[in-house]
Amino acid sequence: MADVDTLLKEYIAAHRAGEEADPRDWLARLEGRERALLAAMIDTYLERAPAPEWDPEAFRQSGLAPLAERIDLALQGQAGTWPALLPSLSHKRRLKRSEVVARLAGALGLPDRQDKVGSYYHEMERGLLPAEGVQDRVLEALGSILGQSAEALRAAGRELAPGAGSDVAGATAFAREARVDPAFAVDAVSAPPASPGTDDDEEWDEVDRLFRGG
């Protein structure tokens, strides 16, 4: 274990010095069981290594802000992990939000109602639309566009209420999807807010029923 010990010490020193400290650079210097052992020991070190101090400027430059925003939307919203999941899925498919909306409206047989479908989809991405109100037909259509099953999308949309579990299938689905390119993230989160169907004077139509009728 001598080499492993030496490399572990070197790794810890690099990590503490604030270097990039990508473990793979150290693992590449060993093979087979010794590599596996070093990986396990580095993991044990990282498990309890002190976290970096909060640095707002470094955070801004890290590219992590969109991820934090999506997680926060999920926590604040009433649609489970949809705010984190939907932009990620569309990014994975290289689809802009407008393309998702157009395809969704088409799949629902409502190509002339893209604006309203888009408003509802925006609410889904922002966690503003309760998932239980969204009909299976919508989730099936959306799932076929985003490469996920309707069941996985339904599970991901379960509200993260205090006291309610949240490790839903969507989290697993999210694990397999790529991080969101800023261009797509901006597209996803900056669309003007809308509240279709919430005006008491407005009559419900087919789009309202699909997204809010349950």
Partner 1 sequence: MFTLRLPAASCRSAGRGPKLSDYRRPGRLKGIVGGDAFKEKGEHELAVMPEGELIAYLLDARAHGAPTGLAVSILVFKLMSDVRRRVAMKVPAEAIDEVAEAVLLSALTSSFDGTSAGEFRNWLTTIIKRRIADHHRSPKTDVRLVPLPEEHEGDDEVWGRRVSVPFEGEAIDVERALDQAKRELNPEHLEVVSLYIFEDLPAAEVADRLVGITEANVHKIAQRFRDRVTELLSERDDTST
Give the Cα separation of 121 and 115 in Å (integer): 10
**Scanning the structure block, which residue is given the tokens 């597209």?**
187
Q: Which of the ranges 108-116, 138-146, 160-168, 195-203 carries the binding residues for partner 1, by CB under 8 A?
A: 160-168
Contact between 14 and partner 1 by CB under 8 A: the answer reads: no
- Choose, by CB under 8 A, the member of 3, 19, 40, 182 that binds partner 1: 40
Write out the two tokens for 19. Answer: 């270097």
What SS3 string covers the chain? CHHHHHHHHHHHHHHHCCCCCCHHHHHCCCCHHHHHHHHHHHHHHHHHCCCCCCCHHHHHHHCCHHHHHHHHHHHHCCCCCHHHHHHHHHHHCCCCHHHHHHHHHHHCCCHHHHHHHHHHHHHHHHCCCCHHHCCHHHHHHHHHHHCCCHHHHHHHCCCCCCCCCCCCHHHHHHHCCCCCCHHHHHHHHCCCCCCCCCCCCCCCCHHHHHHHCC
* Candidate residues 19, 36, 183, 214; the one interacting with partner 1 per rule CB under 8 A: 36
Single residue of 14, 67, 107, 110 touching partner 1 by CB under 8 A: 67
- Does 136 engage in binding with partner 1 (CB under 8 A)? no
Establish if 183 lies at the interface with partner 1 (CB under 8 A).
no
Which one of the spans 4-12, 121-129, 186-194, 195-203 is the region binding partner 1 (CB under 8 A)?
4-12
Q: In the bound complex, what is the minimum distance in angstroms from residue 120's beta carbon to partner 1?
A: 23
| Nearer Cβ to partner 1 (53/200) | 53
Binding-site member from 17, 33, 112, 201 for partner 1 (CB under 8 A): 33
Establish if 74 lies at the interface with partner 1 (CB under 8 A). Answer: yes
Q: How far is the CB of 213 from partner 1 (least distance, A)?
A: 26
Contacts of 121 (CB under 8 A, 6+ apart): 97, 100, 101, 104
Interface residue with partner 1 among 14, 37, 107, 194 (CB under 8 A) is 37
The residue count for binding partner 1 (CB under 8 A) is: 69
Interacting residues with partner 1 (CB under 8 A): 1, 5, 8-9, 12-13, 21-25, 27-28, 32-33, 35-37, 39-56, 58-59, 62, 64-65, 67-69, 71-72, 74-76, 81, 84, 88, 160-168, 171-172, 174-179
